[in-house]
Amino acid sequence: MPEQAAEPALSGLRLNLRILSVVIFNFASYLTIGLPLAVLPGYVHDVLGFSAFWAGLAISLQYFATLVSRPHAGRYADLLGPKKVVVFGLCGALICGLCYWLAAWQSASPVVSLVLLCIGRVILGVGQSFAGTGSMLWGVGVVGSIHIARVISWNGIATYGAMALGAPLGVLCYRYGGLEGLAWVVMAVALLAVVCALPRAAVKGSKGKPLPFRAVLGRVWQYGMALALGSAGFGVIATFITLFYDAKGWDGAAFALTLFSIAFVGSRLVFPNGINRLGGLNVALISFAVEAIGLVMVGVADAPLLAKVGVFLTGAGFSLVFPALGVVAVKAVPQHNQGAALATYTVFMDLSLGITGPVAGLLMAWSGVSMIYLLTALLVVVALLLTWWLKKRPPVEAAL
């Protein structure tokens, strides 16, 4: 973890602007992810002529690469400083854009084009884990560890904002410029971010001895497990709400997803100091309770309004889970290992979102789409009980 700039006097607009000046690089990283998200499956399936399996694999490779490389991103951020890690990650996004352009150039050779796309997706996944983890740690280094909860919250807002903006923008770029035009936009975003990041002041990497990965995992896994259970609620909303609405014969699934996003971002904006005032575990308890109520409302909904209220509550509850538990998780290790702790903690959400889709899909085929929301609510209740146990056990201080 970088050495902290102890500036507790920072507050209000000045504090947020200082955080945003670094979070913007995570926004750029996720924008390069969102831009091709709605385009690549159709390109692989319709233009290159591959099956839906290969179309899905081209997308999933990025998430797998992010999952595998995330712990390494945290460790290198601790050792080298987060600025270098962020620039490295953004360069990965730039190379990915180049792979997209080469894939478009080789469209007459479908296999070659698909291989280039897959290589680009793997590089993008590694780049995102480095840029995303590095941005959070860089932000903490700029404003001080006292504001770590707000830094994590703003990074989440940047993530979802970039994904929401990137998908429709990518469709527009593809419509008028094809995959080549989309590739140029991805490269331009990444290059602009690198150019803006290079002159910014760096914060120093840690000179302390890093803990082995197994030791870091041993200190944060309980918090990560609670995060994973809570993330399942987000996973079933994002993946299956459209099928849920179709099964009920309702319209408005897209608006329900919009409500989820509004609730997610709104909670982080309305309660920016909640974690510092109440404590991470207390906020997590409240968040899990709200999320579980929302999922139950969706599961039992017999009218669109009840489902929309449930989706809104699920988004509002899930919003603060990651920063609330993350603040406690990073304090479980020495300061110079907090980058590795944050990255390891994040892996649990990556795993949860990767597993939720196929497992919930199997359950849906067996018990119906409504039941998956009720079963997921039970998982969130388990997360609540686990958090309650973490709150009641004797505190474990990290060795300095």
- What whole-number distance in Å separates Cα of residue 310 and Cα of residue 286? 16
Q: Residue range 179-194: average pLDDT?
A: 97
Is 233 within 8 Å of 318 (Cβ atoms)? yes
Flag whether pLDDT at 96 surpasses 50: yes
The whole-number pLDDT of residue 396 equals: 54
In 10 A of CB 71, how many CB atoms?
Answer: 21
pLDDT in tens, 279-318: 999 999 999 999 999 999 999 999 999 999 999 999 999 9
Question: Given pLDDT bands bounded at 50, 70 and 90, which one contains residue 46?
Answer: confident
Selection from 290, 308, 294, 293 nearest residue 248 by Cα: 308
Does 240 have pLDDT greater than 90? no
Q: Is pLDDT above 50 for 8?
A: no
Assign 3 to helix, strand or coil: coil
- Judged against a pLDDT cut of 70, whether residue 2 lies above it is answered with no
Q: Is the pLDDT of residue 248 over 80?
A: yes
Question: What is the tens place of the pLDDT at every residue in 338-387?
Answer: 778 888 898 898 888 778 777 888 888 788 888 999 999 999 999 999 99
| Rounded (5°) CA angle 206-208-213 | 95
Give the DSSP H or E segment for 124. helix 110-143
pLDDT band at 234 (very low <50, low <70, confident <90, very high): confident
How far is the C-alpha of 36 from the C-alpha of 42, rounded, in Å? 10
pLDDT of res. 399: 43
Cβ atoms of residues 24 and 227 within 8 Å: no
Residue 108: exposure state from Cβ atoms within 10 A (0-12, 13-18, ≥19): exposed
**Mean pLDDT across the chain, nearest whole number?**
87
In this structure, the number of other CB atoms found within 10 A of the CB of residue 11 comes to: 11
- Residue 255 predicted with pLDDT over 60: yes
> In the structure encoding, which two tokens stand for residue 310, read together?
């449930």
Amino acid at 311: V
User: How far, in Å, CA of 399 to CA of 201, rounded?
Assistant: 29
The fraction of the chain above a pLDDT of 90, given in percent, is 44
Q: What is the DSSP letter of 45?
A: I
What pLDDT does residue 205 have? 62
The mean pLDDT of 128-133, rounded to a whole number, is: 92
Give the pLDDT band of residue 64 (cuts 50, 70, 90).
Answer: confident
CATH 1.20.1250.20 holds for 12-197: yes
In sequence order, which residues have a C-beta less than 8 Å from that of residue 270 and are 6 or more positions away? Answer: none
Q: Which residue has the higher pLDDT, 384 or 208?
A: 384
Q: Where in the chain is the domain with CATH 1.20.1250.20?
A: 12-197, 213-392
Average of pLDDT values for 19-31?
93
pLDDT in tens, 319-352: 999 999 998 998 888 877 777 888 889 889 888 8
**What distance in Å separates the CA atoms of residue 309 and residue 290, rounded to the nearest whole number?**
11
Half-sphere exposure of 42 (CA within 13 A, CB side): 10
For residue 47, give every residue at least 6 positions away whose Cβ sits within 8 Å of its Cβ, in sequence order, or none: 107, 179
Mean pLDDT of 170-189: 94
Query: Could you tell me which of 114, 108, 106, 94 has the C-alpha nearest to residue 41?
Result: 114
**Degrees, nearest 5: CA angle 322-327-329:** 90
Query: What is the C-alpha R_g of the chain?
Result: 21
**Separation between Cα atoms, residue 24 and residue 11, nearest integer Å:** 19
Q: Which residue has the higher pLDDT, 175 or 243?
A: 175
Q: Which of 57-61, 69-73, 183-187, 378-382 has the lowest mean pLDDT?
A: 57-61
Residue 152 near residue 323, CB atoms below 8 Å: yes
Q: Distance between CA 328 and CA 246 in Å, rounded?
A: 40
For residue 393, is it left (φ>0), alpha (ψ between -120 and 50) or beta? Answer: beta
CATH superfamily, with its number, for domain 213-392: MFS general substrate transporter like domains (1.20.1250.20)
Highest mean pLDDT among 11-15, 45-49, 263-267, 384-388: 384-388
List of residues 6+ apart from 184 with CB closer than 8 A: 97, 101, 177
pLDDT band at 10 (very low <50, low <70, confident <90, very high): low
DSSP string, 149-160: HHHHHHHHHHHH
- What pLDDT shows up at residue 5? 42
Distance CA 385, CA 226 (A): 9
DSSP string of 210-233, one letter each residue: PPPHHHHHHHHHHHHHHHHHHHHH
